[in-house]
Amino acid sequence: MHHFQYHQDSLSCEDIPLEQIAKEQGTPCYIYSHATLTRHFQAVDQAFASVPHIIAFAMKANSNLAVLRLMASLGSGADIVSGGELFRALKAGIPSNKIVFAGVGKDHKEIRYAIESDILFFNVESSAELQAINEVAKGMGKQARVALRVNPDIDPQTHPYISTGMKKSKFGIGADLALAEFERAAALPNIQVVGLHAHIGSQLTKISPFVDSLTKVLGLIQTLKDKGIPIQYLNIGGGLGITYSDEAPPQPKDLAEAITPLLKQSQCQIVMEPGRVIVGNAGILLTRVLFIKDTGTKKFAIVDAAMNDLIRPSLYEAHHDILPVLRIPNRQEEVFDVVGPICESGDFLAQNRTMPLVKEGDLLAVMSAGAYAFTMASNYNSRPRVPEILVKGRESFVIRERESYDDLIRGEHIPGFLTS
């Protein structure tokens, strides 16, 4: 359920027509629905109400400060993967004791910052990282809380780029090596082992991989307990998919119904890291058609948004529905490539897409663009990044300003020898 609906053939975000936002803010721009963000967070939170849990919102999906502040107000923590994300989380008011730090390449500066900030724990991905955290904590005269990330070698049945739970992945510690690694961690003087983490991938549309993964790690939790290494937190990660096109992923309540008995069996406090399922369908990218180009063999709708604004179609061949902002009943359909101005053949938002006939000046809404969209944006081709807008009922708020040309060169310097 999301709050982007047609009202008298005009697509709106909550109570504001997208055409109005285009007039006020220009295009392209990202637009997020406050009501959808709230509804989706609460759907996850309520689904798991029967087990003690912390929702650590996966910031890599959407790290805008206003979105993070909304998550914090709803009781969320954060799943972070960099020192920059830790900085953002704290600035947005997310409690440090609800922050978990994942990622395979944490440097000493980031580790120190996280220990100073007293985060809940690190998700440890390797022996080398464990040693680095121990060394940094020793230099600070502190103990660092950690959860070892176990790779259960489960096929999540998703795109290989976002599959993280198989043995060939760069993520986590192999299940066959995990027990020895936990014992090593427990023996380190500046490490406190508090949890086990198992995240197997993103955009999962079936429940069975979650069940298979949990079934594997429950046995390990019991073995660790028997060896005097009690696990306080079980971090089940995130990864529940959303509908981009014709997918029919399980709802949070369906997932909770399937895995809650296993979660209770663990006797741990549960940490979960949803991201896409909360923000994915809560945002759109609004763009305008600049030109129509007909080569005789293919029609192109050239729009003012590009792969630097939304790279998922180019990177993953990801599908995003594209809807006309003004819907004209019985309008003829045509097959278009929807492409941007970037100087790359890979710059497209859709290929061979059957859609209502569009013309120059038409507004289009690229749907399901709330997750892994703006966070992956760049300034390629020296294109300023676009604004982000939050809609709440009849009000809209600019939560990130459109970048200017001056913003593009901020921080750059020409050495004196080149100016003489």
Per-residue DSSP letter, 232: -
- For residues 2-11, average pLDDT: 96
* pLDDT at residue 159, rounded to an integer: 41
- For residues 146-165, average pLDDT: 64
SS3 label, residue 211: helix
Q: Where are the domains of the chain?
A: 4-32+280-409, 34-276
Q: How far apart are CA 203 and CA 181, in angstroms?
A: 29
* pLDDT at residue 170, rounded to an integer: 64
* pLDDT at residue 169, rounded to an integer: 57
SS3 label, residue 385: coil
* Annotated binding-site residue numbers: 239, 273-276, 312, 316, 344, 372
Tens-place pLDDT, residues 172-201: 788 788 999 999 999 999 999 999 999 888
- For residues 324-342, average pLDDT: 96
Q: What's the whole-number average pLDDT of the chain?
A: 94
Cβ 77 vs Cβ 120: under 8 Å: yes
pLDDT band for 161, please (50, 70, 90 cuts). very low
The C-alpha R_g of the chain, in whole angstroms, comes to 23
SS3 label, residue 243: coil
Cβ 78 vs Cβ 120: under 8 Å: no
Confidence check: pLDDT of 167 > 70: no
Tens-place pLDDT, residues 89-133: 999 999 999 999 999 999 999 999 999 999 999 999 999 999 999
Confidence check: pLDDT of 163 > 50: no
Give per-residue burial for 77-111: e unless 16+ CB within 10 Å, then b: bbbbbbbebbebbbebebbbebbbbbbbebeeebb
Confidence check: pLDDT of 146 > 50: yes
- For residues 140-150, average pLDDT: 97
* pLDDT at residue 107, rounded to an integer: 97
Tens-place pLDDT, residues 233-283: 999 999 899 999 888 888 999 999 999 999 999 999 999 999 999 999 999
4-32+280-409 carries CATH number 2.60.120.10? no
Any idea which residues carry the catalytic annotation? 343
pLDDT band for 154, please (50, 70, 90 cuts). low
- For residues 379-387, average pLDDT: 98
Q: Tell me what percent of the residues of the chain surpass a pLDDT of 70.
A: 96
CATH code of 34-276, in short, is 3.20.20.10
What is the DSSP track for 328-341? -TTPPEEEEEEE-S
Q: How far apart are CA 128 and CA 270, in angstroms?
A: 26
Q: Which residues pair with 342 in a beta bridge?
A: none
* Annotated binding-site residue numbers for substrate: 276, 312, 316, 344, 372
Q: Tell me what percent of the residues of the chain surpass a pLDDT of 90.
A: 86
* Annotated binding-site residue numbers for pyridoxal 5'-phosphate: 239, 273-276, 372
